[in-house]
């Protein structure tokens, strides 16, 4: 547990906030004046590093262990944020998994796991969060540019799950519009993280701009969607991939 001096008025929860894009989103939202809860699955050390960075900058953060395949854990994470900070204004659903394989080799276990985390888990996180949001709340999902078109023959199931998220966002935007809650989706292309470090040069060759994105690039878009400048936007999927899906 993990507190700094409390001077923020708004609260965000980032599912999958201990590494990569999620960690960058936590730090950016904290700089924007949010107190931030973040979930992790199996790396409490990484989560604590994010919390420590937020506290060192004068913010307030709380790390929570929660598997996004577990509906009870998702609801508990929301409840812990509410108990700790007293409200919830923004939820960022970044938790997700990647499984690759051709159709003949893709196992039922992997299919179920991807859909459980990347689709069911996203819906459950949103459902749990919006139950406690007031007008002007924000829901931000982190999808993928693979929702637009297949980028590899082994990425069918992953792309399918992210296309489902893009469709989900459109429906939930209509559902939640009468309550003044905005729902939007970010679709990153290749981002430089510890997961992509081993094949970063190959990835660069696939991007028209000749470079991969940084986690901060996505965090800036999260910041925009969480702020007042995006008040007239809902149901959108914003692709940020260096032109990869043009």
Is position 131 within any domain?
Answer: yes
- What is the separation of C-alpha 68 from the centre of its chain, rounded to a whole number of angstroms? 11
Is position 1 within any domain?
Answer: no
Angle at 149 between CA 177 and CA 182, to 5 degrees: 15
Residue 1: the pLDDT is: 39
CATH code for the domain in which residue 225 is found: 3.40.50.720
| Residue burial 126-135, b: 16+ Cβ < 10 Å; e: rest | bebbbebbee
Residue 94: the pLDDT is: 96
- Its domain, for residue 67, covers 10-240
Is position 30 within any domain?
Answer: yes
Number of domains observed in the structure of the chain: 1
Is position 68 within any domain?
Answer: yes
Is position 134 within any domain?
Answer: yes
* Catalytic residue chosen out of the listed positions 123, 158, 224, 232: 158
Residue 3: the pLDDT is: 41
Is position 176 within any domain?
Answer: yes
Output the 3-class SS for the chain.
CCCCCCCCCEEEEEECCCCHHHHHHHHHHHHCCEEEEEEECCCHHHHHHHHHHHHHCCCCEEEEECCCCCHHHHHHHHHHHHHHHCCCCEEEECCCCCCCCCCCCCCHHHHHHHHHHHHHHHHHHHHHHHCCCCCCCEEEEECCHHHCCCCCCCCHHHHHHHHHHHHHHHHHHHHHHHHCCEEEEEEECCEECCCCHHHHHHHHCCCCCCCCEEHHHHHHHHHHHHCHHHCCCCCCEEEECCCCCC
Q: pLDDT tens digits for the chain (246 residues)?
A: 344 433 348 999 999 999 999 999 999 999 999 999 999 998 899 999 999 999 999 999 999 999 999 999 999 999 999 999 999 999 999 989 999 999 999 999 999 999 999 999 999 999 999 999 999 999 999 999 999 998 889 999 999 999 999 999 999 999 999 999 999 999 999 999 876 777 778 888 889 999 999 999 999 999 999 999 999 999 999 999 999 999
Is position 116 within any domain?
Answer: yes
Residue 4: the pLDDT is: 40
Is position 4 within any domain?
Answer: no
Q: Establish whether 40 is a catalytic residue.
A: no
């Amino acid at each position: 547990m993990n507190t700094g001096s409390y001077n923020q008025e708004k609260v965000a929860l980032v599912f999958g906030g201990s590494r990569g894009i999620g960690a960058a989103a936590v730090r950016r939202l904290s700089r924007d004046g949010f107190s931030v809860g973040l979930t992790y699955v199996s790396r409490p050390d990484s989560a604590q590093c994010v919390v420590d960075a937020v506290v060192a900058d004068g913010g307030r953060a709380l790390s929570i262990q929660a598997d996004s395949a577990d509906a009870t854990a998702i609801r508990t994470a929301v409840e812990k944020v509410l108990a700790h900070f007293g409200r919830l204004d923004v939820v960022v659903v970044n938790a997700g998994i990647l499984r690759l394989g051709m159709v003949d080799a893709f196992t039922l276990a992997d299919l179920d796991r991807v859909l459980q985390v990347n689709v069911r888990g996203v819906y459950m996180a949103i459902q749990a969060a919006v139950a406690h949001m007031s007008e002007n709340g924000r829901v931000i999902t982190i999808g993928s540019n693979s929702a637009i078109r297949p980028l590899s023959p082994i990425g069918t199931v992953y792309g399918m799950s992210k296309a489902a998220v893009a469709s989900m966002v459109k429906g939930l935007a209509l559902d939640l519009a009468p309550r003044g809650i905005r729902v939007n989706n970010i679709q990153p292309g290749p981002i430089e993280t510890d997961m992509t470090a081993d094949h970063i040069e190959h990835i660069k060759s696939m991007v028209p701009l000749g470079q991969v994105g940084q986690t901060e690039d996505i965090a800036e878009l999260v910041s925009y969607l969480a702020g007042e400048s995006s008040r007239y936007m809902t149901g959108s999927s914003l692709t940020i991939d260096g032109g990869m899906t043009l």
